[in-house]
Structures are given as structure tokens and as C-alpha cells.
Amino acid sequence: MKKLTMIIITLSSMLVSYAQRTLTGTVTDAQDGSPLPGVSVSLNGSKGGVITNPAGRYSIQVTGNAVLLFSIVGYNDITVNSGSGSTLDISMQIIRKNLQEVVVTGYNTQTRRQSTASITRISGDDVKSQPIGSFEQMLQGKSPGILIQSQSGQPGSAATVTIRGKGSVLGSTDPLYILDGVQITASDFQSINPSDIETYNILKDATGTAQYGSRGANGVIVITTKRGANQKTKINYDVQYGWAELPKNKLELMTSAEKINYELNYDRPDGTNPFGWTPEEADSLSKVNANLKDALFRRSTTAQHQLSLSGGNDKTRFFVSGSLFNQQGLVITTGLRRATGRVNIDHTIGNFKIGINTYVGSSTFTNTNENDQFIGSPLNAIRWANPYVTPYLPDGSYNELDLLLQGQPNALKELIENPGKNKQLKLVGALSVDYKFPGIKGLSARTNIGVDYTENENQQYFDRTTYQGSQQTGGQGSFGQNTTKNNRYTVTTSVSYARQIRANRFNISLFNEVVKRKFNGFGYTGFGLVGPFKNGAGITPGTSSNGFIPVVTSTETENAILSYFAIADYSYKNRYILSGTVRRDGSSRLADDNKWTTFGAIGASWVVSSEKFLSNSKLISDLKLKVSYGSSANQGVGDDYEAKEQFGPVSYNGVGGLILTNLKKGDLTWEVRRTFNAGVDFGLLKNRITGSVEFYNSNTIGLYLNRQISGTNGANTILTNLGKLQNRGVEVALNFTVLQTKNLTWDIGGNFTYNRNRILQLDGTNENVNGLSINRVGESANSVYVVRYAGVDPATGEALYYTKDGKTTTQYDPNDKVIVGKYDPPYFGGFNTSVNLKGIEASFLFTYSFGNKIYNGDRVNVENPVYYVSNLSKDLLTEWQHPGDVTNIPSPFNDFQPNTTRFVEDGKYVRLRNVTLSYTIPAGTFGSKISAVRFFVQGQNLITWSSFKGYDPEIASGVLQGAQYPALKAITVGLNLGL
Amino acid sequence: MKKSIKIYPAAILISFLALASCKKTIDIEPTHTANGDVIFDKISDYESALTGAYARLLSVNYYGSSNGSSAFSVLSDMMTDNLFESSESLGNYQNFSHWVYTADDTNIDATWLAAYRVIQQCNLTLRNIDKLASTDQGAVNRIKAQALALRAYVHFDILRYWGEGTLRNSILRGIPYVSSFDIEQKPARLTVKESYDAIINDLQLAKSLMQDMDKPIQSTTSTASTARAYIDEIVVNAVLARIYNYAAVPDSAIKYSSLVIAARPLASRANFPLIWQDANTSEVIWSVKFTPLNSGVGDNVYYAVGNRASYRPTTNLTALYDQANDVRYSSYFQLRARGSGSRLVVSKYLAKQAQLGKPDGITDFKVFRTGEMYLIRAEAYAANGLEGPALADLNTLRAARINGFVPGTETGAALINAISNERRKELVCEGQRWFDLKRSDRIVDRISNCNVFCSLDASAREWVWPLPQSEILANANIEQTAGY
């Protein structure tokens, strides 16, 4: 054998000496067209070869039609015939998910192979170009187990994010967000620049969440930002413009002619023609098309620019970025402007590694009221204003007719004359020092000091001529300004020891952490804005007689967590892996006897594909089984002093006093979520098919509920740890590279989650009713609880209801309420496909959820015949009028009952969340200076399939109050440029 | 150099571990609220708690109005023939004006809670106060007396809506009487008689404590805007007069109303309109003080700021007045412009004097006035068969209100009817009408301005409110009102 090999080598070297030529080319990343340095290029079967330079260029000597192998870690190898030319450009595909992927828990970083946790990793670059102000919305449909509901399309508004079902009924269900080791507040995301983000790591099971102890129960989203690499300085510029508009409205209202007809000809308890129109007036009003919607809304624009530089050498690496984002709101006067800057530096000196992250985000945004039933909200006005009342009079002044007819102010006037604005300054900084102890191999220490600082300032002016202005104290408008500051620092210090002894590898880290948050707020509202100034200068000083006494508010609260914890991993042959965490948290928020709680988790995994019996398998390339169990808790309930009996300030007859504001809760403790997780990660056919299937069961014990107490105590509920809640589910994720050739790639992928939420125990009682929802043992938390509507009796026009035992009755009785569904969707997910042909890529992302119900309060307000002075639903044209009328709308003489299934709708939907068409110009087209050029057009929320009667079925709470600001339909065009 | 670098990390580590380990990190006391376990060691804290108890009366579900039940100010008139719902109404109180409330009504729940919340604050004021008695008996008595009287008064208000009977010795279901702060207690309903016993007991105890105080309850330097804000002995007598009248105990009603009439004479016709502008406190016995930061007392009837007259006076009511000469008519009602026309609205709570130009609906709620005391005494005299003194009281009041009044000469049923009509005219929107009907013939008959829901007969369950569903669920010892 040896001999033979020698002969071949000799032969080939002889051939080489025959007709050798130089082949050159550029290797690029197929996804973004950026050059790939460090790619090994070799003649197939031979050792040696060349490496691409920082610009991705290579040059190799070949003979004839040679077979070339291109390879680099993290990308699929490419074997290709050289042909006879002198240039050959190659684009390489990143290897889709496999066990080499790096996942980050915040306290440690591992490859997926080594981790026993259930973690989804999403690349920031995959989602960053969606035209959305708040980054968490971009993750919708991207990962199993995480439900993201963007209730609002308001620029910069945050979505509701739920990981593996709501584990709490009263407490927060928001996950914990960690940005480069620093806890950040979910409500400030409009000031974070999504383009800075390298990865999102979603920690779902106890292996990950127990590391966060009393904060981890709702899952953790660990975000890392981009950092420089040891390479030539890269400059990237991204620009994007777009337009957005309201989605289709499915709640149809009466036109002018229909409304006038309804007023004049429908028999009502108050008689007909409530406004006493003369026939001439009625006739002319019927022809008016007021179109308030067009006056209040616009096609809004979005523009964003982002510039970044990254690079470094072997000692110092840097990433610097700046961005501008400007998104108009759909409602005139609203919008978000944001400017951000980031500097990340890593520096190594000797045994030290120092990391500095600094981020500044500044945003200015103007919102409008939403999800309320306030008559001053423009989004309600488009429903309630009479269709024959134009926003302006012919002379250009505001038309106040609706204020007179029905007390509905002119929404346009309220909006334009009452400007408000919010400013937010966000600073996130972290300094880390890593130290490797010389002399003791594997021993290191680390300190990370992080600060999350948010300053909000909002200003609101109410003009005295407006409805809202006239309602201010003193009736002459107001100006208010509020400033809040939220300052949280996190100091984490750890000592780690990692060693490998033959096939045994272990790693243990001991941590100490303090997280301290201080919040303070100051605000004032002054009255009597009668002069020329529309700001603080216009406030009339208050006297005892003029009524313009200003309101001044001030708050300050503080909380802290002190923790000690240990995280350990052990693996044998890199195949059998064990991990464990123990964390003890002390919290300032609990009563003295209850301050300390211990959490923990253990996990194990087995990389089956590394076993001999699979190592030669053609089918299975990766296979890993994992299991974990552990606990973590939820802090998001009550205020910072919830356990203490608190008295707040009040005044009577000019004298200050105290009133009880919070009941003492000496036994209060955290609600603890214990999660079991079992799963399999797999890769088939050289990872052309990858995926995972996981099963989880999480029980929340000590569930926070409002224990009902006798109202004769002056309170009828008290927050108590009294229940038990279960979330059990299955998650499936699958990716399939259908085609992968040099010029054409086609990927499809999808994920699906089923989460079953069930109350296991309530303290002593079997159920706990809260308005339209109920918590009952054996059912989903927050189940829809209403009386079943049985239509209308054609003979009398009376509404019919079902009693509890299914008989029809005309008598509405709250005791006949039954559970008719759940507000939280049990089934949800997303699927996507992308096709790339010679740099032209089309990708589609769909999201869906089903199995839930929505209570449509928007309809209640336009189907209640009492509001006949406002505009009404078109459906009321079919209102029962005469015996024999067969309709679903009862007689206006019948008592209107809103809490019935009449207003409960199916919440299922499928949405084309994002579609992107892009073209990446081959590297080198514009010379070596420009390394990547990509154009794209994308559509956001272009199509939604749903039967919900409103703008949008995505309603996080399941109850739409009114004034819906839906997720917008948007189209943007953009350019990415790499230098 | 190398050595010093080695020391740094250790120093950094140790310093942060030391900083973090400090257990004080997690001992944090509130600064903008007060911890009940820390305060209450001096008289001033109890004074503050008592002020808090008075402030609880400003709740929108007690004497306040906007977006709340306004249960003890104007709701009682909205439920009767004094007012009718106009087309300007947003319909939020139809359950009440149509008498179709059920146990899950949010306003009933809110009223129950708002009332017991005043009691809660009274009980917190009384909690452990006796430990300071040895050092400051007079101050302790002054604070205790008010807390006891306020607690008793609010229980009486609760009894008026939820008591199944009105008579002093009725053994029908009354209400739970709560005399300590303990969130785990689940009190049962007393009988009506037992409820009265507890109420009167607290009032008498308050009166006796008022005999030995460190200083007077009412401020000695008060102006019209701050006078008569607190419960002193005159107020306690007025409470007793109202209770005994409601409970049909004429002798006691006469006794206590006479004490009040002697202390606070009727206002002159010149001063009468100023009472409603809070510019004069003649004949005002107890006035709960509202500021622009609270809601208007009458907002649910006439919302001055938005010029929305949700409920308007019935012509049946306004026809009772001598509109030209009765100072009450012009003080209580006004034509207010709307669009090109105008309509008659209840303007009793339009605004304080300085704000009348741009009314904000903010006025004090006059809980007791001498006018009511005359009517109580007249009614009690008549009930005792003393028609002469009854007519005399009635005529005194009418002469005080009506310019050029010719003394009436009613007797028998006509006298009783005249007293009842006078109550209706005198006390419109002062939280009386529903209860006056409830304790007499239990009939509402809207004979004018009405298309639907125009009458409620004596047998209707709605004369007694249902207990809130939440109370039934939480309190195993309590029984729902009959009929619900």
C-alpha cells in the first residue's frame, strides 16, 4: 500500500510540472456576499494548499481540470472542478445548526454539544432588517417555545413575549433580558439598536434559567453584541426606507346614509330621530362622507441608517457603530426617532483580558392612546364619530358637532392641539476583567460590572380649547412633565477552574452577584395655560381662588438581590455530559424571615452520534439526547416593598395624612417554576436536515393569586402564594436544505409549539373569577368565562342565553357563565423558506397561532344600542324590529349584555410576517475596495388570514378593550454595503 | 512590575466580594411610603391616619362621583323619581336607574369596598392608640372619638343600602359590623337591630370621649372653605337624629335634632345660595371637603366640565317648587346652554364661588344641614301625633326658603305629605330620596319624563342591594340578601 501511494504522488507531481497554470478567485459568504478570509483551498486529495487572504482572495497552481476542495470551519465544504479558466469565485454556505454552534447562557459559553440546556440561538443579522423599532418583535416565529405577540403597531412599542407558556397569573410573564451580562429592562427596547446584536440566545429549560435563580422563571433572553475580530478593518453601511399602512379593517361601520336611516327609521326606547333632523338636514347629511380615518391616519414612512466598523489585531479588537432610525406613526403626529452609538473594545495584556462595552441610545417618541375606551382616543374616534360629521368645517375650523350630539370630541383637534412627547436616554455599559492565574493551569477569575440606566422624560400639553384641555383642573388646559430614572447595576464576580484529564473534562465556577435597582420619578402638572406658551412657561401660578393648583409627584423605590452560586460541568469523552447549578438568592423585597431561597438544576446529555455504532452512519450526522430538571423563580410581582404594611400620602382639608396602600404579607415568597425538559437534537444527511424535538413540563408552585378576603376589611383580595400551575408542551423545529448547488440553494424550515396550561391547585377554593376570565382547577389559567349567547327570539326580539345546563332563557344571569375557551394560544409557531439563485434570494416567513379566543370589546361599543348617538356597527342594520325578524341582533328595547359569547371570537391566524427579495452582487464586481453589495425589498405583515372582526387578531391579553393600534403592513427597500 | 499586576486581580476580587457580601444590601426600607410596623409610635401618626380616614370619603364610590358609583351623594337620586336619564348619558349607571343590578355589578362591589375602606382606616387609627393614653389622654380621646363616630356613621350608610329592614328592632338581615383591623376575619351579617346597637354604641362612646379632649375638633381659625370639616359633637347629634328618624324612633329623633337646631340655626335666604358655592357655612353641620384634585360630587348627574347632563331633574320634581320665590330652586337648578338651545340641569354642585365662571363641578359635600334637622323633627313630631309642633317646624323651614311664604295649615295626611314633599325639595341630590322611599311606602313612580323602567313596586328585591359576589365567595359566614 505504501508503495502505491508514493507512486501516485510522484505521478501527480510529474503532471503538475507539465501544464501548470495559476487559478485565482474570491471566496465569499453566500448569505451576505462578504469575503471569507482563512478558507483552505486545496487540490482534492492533496495535503497543503493555500489560504484565502483577508479580502477572500486566493491564488493556486493547478493543472488541467483539477478538483478543488474549499473548506473552513463553520461552512459546508465545497468540492468543485476548476474548469480550464484562470478565475474561479466561490460562495460558501454557513453550516446550518449543528452541534458546533456556540450558545451563551450569560454566565458561560459552550458549544451546543457540551450543553445540556434547551437553548435557541438566533443570529441578529437574520432578523435585523425588519422595519420594527423594538427588537424582540423581530424574533416572532423564529424559535419554538417562544410566543411573541405584538399587540401594538405603535412605533417602538414592546411586544408581549412568553416563553413556554405563562407560568404566572398575576406576576410578570416577561422573560429576563441580559445584554452582555447586564440585566436590561424590557420596556426600553425602543432605544436599543437591533443591528448591534450578534446573537439572541433563548434559555428555556432549567439548566439555563436556574443560573438566574429568582429572576429566571419566565425564561431568559441572553443577547450578545458584535465584537471586533483579528482582521482587516471592515466597514458596513446599511440603509433602508419604507412605507407602512393600516391593515384591512373587518369591523364595518355604518355609512352616513345608513346611520341616518337607522336614526330615523328604527324604533327605539327613546323614540326615533334623536337629534331632530329636518328632512332636508337628513337628506344632506346622508350624502356626507366625513372620512375621519383619512384625516387621522397616513401612509407612514420609515428610514434607517447604520454604520459600523470592526477589526483589530491580536491584542486589541473593536466594534464601533452608530445608527439613526426614524419611523413615523400611522396616526399623524406620532412616531419614533432614535440615534444610537456603541463602542465595544477587547484588549489583552498578559494574563488579563479587558472588555468594555458602552452603548448610548436616545429616542424621542410620540404615542397615541390605545387599547382603552376613552372617548378622547383617536383610535376610538374612528369607530365612534358619526360618519356624517366632517373633521373640519368649510371655513377650515374644527367641526365640533359630534361633541354636541354625543359628547364625542373632534379627534383630530384633540390630537393636533394637544402635543406630547417622550424622550428616552438609555445607557448600557459593562466593564469586564478576566484574569488567568499563572502557575495554576485552568484557574481564572472574572469580574463584570454592568450598568443599565434609563432616563425617561415625557411632556404633555393640553390646550384649553380642546375637550381634554377643558377637563383639566381649572378647565384651562395643562402642561405636565415627568422624569423617571431607572438605574440598575449588576456586579458579578467569579472564579473558575477548568481542566481536562485524559477523557475527563470538567469546569466549575463560583459566583457572587449583586443586582441593585433604584428607581426615582419626579413630575408636575401645572394648569391655567392661558398665555402664549405651550410649555412650562405658560402655567398660571395656583392660588386658593383660581383653581390652578399644580400637582407635584415624587417617588423613589429600590430593591436588591444578593446571590451566591456555583455552576459545574463534567464530560467524559466529550460524549457523556453532566451539568449542575446551585444558586442562593437573598432579596430585599421579601419579609425578613423569607428573604433567602435556593434554586438549582441538573442536566445530562449524551452525544449518541459520537458512539462507534453511529460514527459511520450515512444518515445520521448528529444525534444528541438531553434531559434536565431544576427550579427558578419569578420576581415580577408587586412593588419593591410588597411584603410590608405601607401607608401612602393623602390630604384632606389641606392637611396631610396617611392611608393604607399595601397590606402586610409576611409569608410572601417567590413563585417557583420547576421545569423538566427532555429533548433530542439531530442532524441528518450531513446536516442537510437538522432539527430538535423537546418535551417539557413545568410546574409553578406557590403561584401568586389574589386570595379573596372579605371586603369588610377594606380590601377584597390579598396577594398570596397559593396555587399550582402547570405548563406542559412539545416543541419541534426542523430545517431542511432541499437543494444546495453552486448556484442554487433552497431551504425550508419551521417550528411548532404546543403548550398546555392548566391550573392544578388554588388555595382551598376551586375557582377564582375575574371579570371575563376565570382561573379554575383543571382548566387553563385565564379561561374565557362568559354567558353563552343563544341568538334572538324572532317573536319578541329578546336576546336569548343558555343557562349553565344548556336551556335557553331570556334572563341574563352571571351564574350561567361557563368556560368557552382560553385567551392564550396553545398552538403557535412559524415556517419559512428561502431560495437563493446566483445571489438572488427570496425568503418568506409565516407565523401562526391557533386555539385561542378573543373578546372583542371594540364591537361591544358599536353594537350597544344605547350608543345610538355614536356611529354603530353595520350589523345593527339587521337589528330586530318586528315580530318574525330573524337576526342575531336583539331589539334595542332589550337589556344589552356585553359579557356573553356574542363578543367572543376565534383568535386563529396565519400571517405572512416577512417576505424579502434580495440580490447580492458578486464580490469583486466593484473592485477590491467594495467587498459586498446587497439590495433588498421586503414586506412586513403583507397578508394575514384571520376571521377576527377588527384590524388584527394579534391581541396579547386576549381582550381588546377598544382603540386598537394594529401591527402595520409595511414595505421597505434597502442596501447593505461592505467595504 | 509583574508582581504588582498579580496583586491587582486578587484585590479587585476581594473588594467586590466584600462589597457584595454585605447583608445590608438587601435590607431596604421604603422612603416615599411609611411602614406600618415602624410608625404609630406618636400622636401625630394617629392624627395622620385619622386624616386618611376622612380622605377616604372623597372616593368616587362614596361622595365623589366621576366614573364611580357616587353611592352616597347622587346615586340615590338617580334611582328615583327626582331625576331622569337624558340622551346625553353614556349609559354607565342604567343598572341603577333601571333597577336591574345583580350581585356581580362592579359599582356595587366598589361601593361596598369604598365604605368598608373608610372603616378600615378608622380601625387602623384606633389600632394600639390606647398605648399613648397615659401620656396624652386628651389627644387620644379627640382622635378616638372621631374615628369611632366616623366608623359608626359609615356603617349606617352601608346599612341603608344593604339592610333588609329599616326599623330599629328589625330582626331582618343587617350588615357586618367591623370594629378591628384583621384581614382574616369573615364577619357574619348582624340583624338590623344588632347593627343599630353597634352603630349607636360607637356614637355614644364618641360623645363621651368628646367631653375630655386636649382641644376642640374643629379648627378655631377656619374660614368658610375649611370650616365644619370634621366630626364633632354637633355632627354626632345630627347622625343620631338621622338614624333615629330612619329607624322610626321619633322621641330620640326629636331629642337629637333639637340639639343640632339649637347649635346651628337655619341660613338666611341671602346666605343660602352661598352654601352651595362653599362661600358660607351657615347651617352646615358637616361638610366633606373636596379640592380640584378630587372628582366632582355631582359629575354623574351633571358633568360641569364636559357640560354633560346625564341625569336631569324631572318636571314632576321641579313642579313642586314655587320657582320664582323659592331660593332652593335657583340654588339647585339652572338652565345651561347646549348647542343652540339650553336645558335645565342640577347645578347644586356646579363649582365653588371662584370657579363659577368656568365651573369644574368641585364643591364640598354637605353631609348634614340644619334644614334636614327641621324636617326630621317635623316628621317625628307628626309621627308622635304632635301636629302643632310639626307644622311649626315645617313652616319655619318654608319661611326661611321661600320669599313671602304664607304659613301653611296642613293637618293629618296632608301634613305628612307636605313634610315628605319638603324633604324632596330640600334634599335633592343629597343622598336621601331612595332611602326616604325605602323607609316609607317602598314605591318609585316616575310619573314624568319616563318611557321605560318607570316604576318599582314594594315587593321588588332591588330595595335591598345584593352583597357583592366577591364577598359571597370570600366570606363563608355571610348570607346573600333575600331574592338574589
Q: Residues B159-217: pLDDT tens digits?
A: 999 999 999 999 999 999 999 999 999 999 999 999 999 999 999 999 999 999 999 99
Tell me which residue of A165, B345, A190, A609 sits closest to A175, measured CA to CA.
A165
* Nearest in space to A409 (alpha carbons), one of A332, A478, A467: A467
> Distance (Å, rounded) from C-alpha B247 to C-alpha B200?
12
Q: Is B223 exposed, middle or buried (0-12, 13-18, 19+ CB in 10 A)?
A: exposed
Judge if pTM exceeds 0.80.
yes
Reply yes or no on whether the pLDDT at B327 is more than 50.
yes
Q: Would you say the C-alpha torsion B58, B59, B63, B65 has a positive or negative sign?
A: positive
**A585: chain B residues, CB-CB within 8 Å:** none
Interface of A with B in 767-826 (CB under 8 A): 769, 813-814
Question: Cβ separation of B13 and A447 shorter than 8 Å?
Answer: yes
Sign (positive or negative) of CA dihedral A792, A794, A797, A803: negative
Q: CA distances (Å), A442 to each of A253, A351, A473, A509, B14, in order?
A: 71, 12, 68, 11, 20
State residue B4 phi and psi, 5-degree precision. -65, -35
Under 8 Å between Cβ of A453 and A427: yes
User: What tens digit of pLDDT does each residue of B230-243 get?
Assistant: 999 999 999 999 99
Q: In this structure, what C-alpha cell is assigned to residue A964?
A: 386598537
Interface contact flag, A712 B32, Cβ < 8 Å: no
The alpha-carbon radius of gyration of chain B (Å, integer) is 26
> From CA A259, how far away is CA A871, in angstroms rounded?
7
Packing angle, helices B370-383 and B387-401, rounded to 10: 160
pLDDT of residue A7: 39
Mutation site, B2, B7, B22, B33, interface A, largest A CB count within 10 A: B33
- Cα dihedral B225→B229→B235→B239 (10° resolution): 110
Q: Which residues of B touch A648 (CB under 8 A)?
A: 33-34
* Cβ neighbours for B385, distance < 8 A, ≥ 6 positions apart: none
DSSP conformational letter for A252: -
Q: Which portions of chain A are predicted below pLDDT 50?
A: 1-17
Instruction: Give a three-class secondary structure readout of B152-194.
Output: HHHHHHHHHHHCCCCCCCCCCECCCCCCCCCCCCCCCCCEHHH
Burial class, A341, CB count within 10 angstroms (exposed 0-12 / middle 13-18 / buried 19+): middle
SS3 (DSSP) at A460:
strand
What pLDDT score does A4 carry?
A: 41
For residue B85, what is its C-alpha cell? 336619564
CB–CB of A714 and B94 under 8 A? no
Residue A8 is predicted with a pLDDT of 39
Q: Residue A105 has which C-alpha cell? A: 447562557
Q: Would you call A713 and B25 a contact, using CB atoms and an 8 Å cutoff?
A: no
E strand residue ranges, A653-788: 655-662, 671-684, 689-708, 717-740, 744-761, 767-770, 773-776, 783-786
Fill in the DSSP letter of residue A35: B
Q: Given this model, what pLDDT does residue A964 score?
A: 85
DSSP string, A622-653: EEEEEEEEEEEEE--SS-TTTTS-EEEEEEET
A contacts of B90 (beta carbons < 8 Å): 407
**Measured between alpha carbons, how far is A934 from A64 in angstroms, rounded to an integer?**
34
B404 pLDDT band, cuts 50/70/90, is very high
Per-residue pLDDT, A45: 62
Residue with the larger pLDDT of the pair B379 and A366: B379
Q: Are B99 and B456 in contact, with CB atoms under 8 Å apart?
A: yes
Are residues B164 and B464 in contact, defined by beta-carbon separation less than 8 angstroms?
Answer: yes
Nearest to B127 by CA among B135, B115, B119: B119
Cα nearest neighbour of B12 on chain A: A447
Q: What is the pLDDT of residues B99-131, one digit of tens each?
A: 999 888 899 999 999 999 999 999 999 999 999
Q: How is residue A657 written as a grid cell?
A: 395624612
Q: Which residue among A467, A514, A867 sits closest to B25, beta carbon to beta carbon?
A: A514
The verdict on a CB contact (< 8 Å) between B178 and A648 is no
Residue A26: count of CB within 10 angstroms of its CB: 22
What local confidence, expressed as pLDDT, does residue A104 receive? 82
Size of interface A-B (CB pairs under 8 A): 252
Cβ neighbours around B18 below 10 Å, total:
10
CA distance A288 to chain B (A): 21
Q: What is the mean pLDDT of chain B?
A: 92
| pLDDT for residue B22 | 65
Instruction: Report pLDDT for A96.
Output: 55
Which amino acid is present at A863?
Answer: E
Q: How far is B287 from chain A (nearest CA, A)?
A: 10
For residue B400, the model assigns a pLDDT of 96
Cβ of B30 within 8 Å of Cβ of A651? The answer is: no
Q: Please classify residue B96 by burial: count the beta carbons closer than 10 Å to its beta carbon, then call 0-12 exposed, 13-18 middle and 19+ buried.
A: buried
C-alpha neighbours within 13 Å on the C-beta side of residue A39: 33
Percent of chain B exceeding pLDDT 70 equals 95
Nearest to A555 among B13, B32, B50 (CB): B32
Q: What is the dihedral of CA A104, A109, A112, A118, to 10 degrees?
A: -40
C-alpha cell recorded at residue A881: 324590529
Chain B residues in contact with A719 by the CB 8 A cut-off are: none
Look at residue A10 in the predicted model and tell me its pLDDT.
39
Cα distance between residue A189 and residue A197, in whole Å: 13
Question: For position A172, what pLDDT does the model report?
Answer: 87
Q: How far is CA A500 from CA A507, A570, A692, A841, B145, in A?
A: 9, 10, 29, 45, 79
SS (H, E, C) chain B: CHHHHHHHHHHHHHHHHHHHHCHHHHCCCCCCCEECCCCCCCHHHHHHHHHHHHHHHHCCCCCCCCCCCCCCCCHHHHCCCCEEECCCCCCCCHHHHCCCCCCCCHHHHHHHHHHHHHHHHHHHHHCCHHHHCCCCHHHHHHHHHHHHHHHHHHHHHHHHHHCCCCCCCCCCECCCCCCCCCCCCCCCCCEHHHHHHHHHHHHHHHHHHCCCCCCCCCCCCCCCCCCCCCCCHHHHHHHHHHHHHHCCCHHHHHHHHHHHHHHCCCCCCCCHHHHCCCCCCCCEEEEECCCCCCCCCCCCCCECCCCECCEEECHHHHCCCCCCCEHHHHHHEEEEEECCEEEEEECCCCCCHHHCCCCCCCCCEEEEEHHHHHHHHHHHHHHCCCHHHHHHHHHHHHHHHECCCCCCCCCHHHHHHHHHHHHHHHCCCCCCHHHHHHHCCCCEECCCCCCCCCEECCCCHHHCCCCCHHHHHHCCCCCCCCCC
Contact partners, residue A743, CB within 8 Å, separation at least 6: A837, A838
Nearest residue on chain A to B186, judged by CA atoms? A710
A278 touches B at CB < 8 Å: no
Cell numbers for A179, please give them. 445584554
A435 in reach of chain B (CB within 8 A): yes
What residues form DSSP beta bridges with B277?
none
The 10s digit of each residue's pLDDT in A588-625 is 999 888 899 999 999 999 999 888 888 788 888 889 99
Instruction: Give dist(CA A722, CA A170) in Å, integer.
Output: 12
Chain B residues with CB under 8 Å of A523 CB are: none
Four-point Cα dihedral B374, B377, B378, B383, nearest 10: 160
Angle between helices A279-286 and A256-265 (to 10 degrees): 150
pLDDT at A17: 43
d(CA B344, CA B324): 15
Read off the pLDDT band of B1 (50, 70, 90).
Answer: very low
Chain A: closest CA distance from residue B413 (Å): 37
Provide the grid cell at A479.
402642561
C-alpha cell at A302: 420609515
Q: Are A295 and A385 in contact (CB under 8 A)?
A: no
Give B15's pLDDT tier (boundaries 50, 70, 90): low
CB atoms within 10 A of CB A233: 13
pLDDT digits (tens, 9 = 90+) for A344-356: 999 999 899 999 9
- What single-letter amino acid sits at A860? V
Q: How far apart are CA B123 and CA B118, in angstroms?
A: 9
pLDDT in tens, B380-397: 999 999 999 999 999 999
A276 touching chain B per CB within 8 A: no
Please write down the HEC assignment for all residues of B27-54. CCCCCCCEECCCCCCCHHHHHHHHHHHH
- Considering CB atoms only, which of B49, B87, B468 is closest to A270? B87
At B40, the pLDDT band (50, 70, 90 cuts) reads very high
pLDDT for position A57: 87
Q: What's the pLDDT score for residue B473?
A: 85
Tell me, what's the pLDDT at A15?
Answer: 42
